[in-house]
Amino acid sequence: MSKSKYSLTFKEEVVNYYHSGKDGYTNTARHFGLDRNQVRTWVTMHKHGGLQALQPKERSKRYSAKFKHCVVSAMQKDNLSSMQAAIKFKIMDPPLVRAWLRFYKRNGVIALHPNNHDPYPKMKKVNKNTTQAKKSDKEKTQKELLDELLYLRAENAYLKKLQALIQEKQTQGKGPKSSLD
């Protein structure tokens, strides 16, 4: 069973207060000590999905990458907001839909896969005490030597290209001066 920050009865009370016509989103939010967007979200979700749309979210619910991509594609194709897409696809969590779009824009379809929760994985810290001393060339296997050779060739090619680009940029900056100087 999932825990929700706000109970269903509280959400219903907020929506009913808003619908009573006493106040708009901002004043309703102030009255209940909420953010204006939270009130707007609840009212809109209630309007399109009834009381069921205000039910606490199922934390264990998982969506496939294909489904997420379908939602994101519809958002882009039909110019839908995250709220509209959530309503259209019966997802009771518009911020989740917004996150999918953000991940998709940053990293493409791969970011929508279930095992890809963090689109910006952090590098693993290496414990300095457990690092082994480097092997001498005589101790390395043929594969290790070939891998190192390949790496060094790539590094050398990169540095040569970088140097060529820097020289090209410098020669462009020293182009012919105008006679007005």
pLDDT 10s digits, 142-161: 888 888 888 899 989 989 98
Amino acid 94: pLDDT:
82
Q: Specify the range with the lowest mean pLDDT, choosing from 55-64, 97-106, 157-166.
A: 55-64
Whether residue 121 has pLDDT greater than 70: no
Tokens of 142: 């043929």
Tokens of 41: 């979200």
As a whole number of angstroms, the distance between CA 125 and CA 128 comes to 9
pLDDT tier at 73, thresholds 50, 70, 90:
very high
**Which of the pair, 169 or 122, is modelled with greater confidence?**
169
Average pLDDT over residues 80-94: 84
Is residue 104 within 8 Å of residue 116, measured between CB atoms? no
3-state DSSP assignment of residue 52: helix
Amino acid 119: pLDDT:
42
pTM score of the predicted model: 0.49
Most confident of 110-119, 125-134, 156-165: 156-165
Tokens of 88: 């259209």
Amino acid 83: pLDDT:
86
As a whole number of angstroms, the distance between CA 7 and CA 106 comes to 34
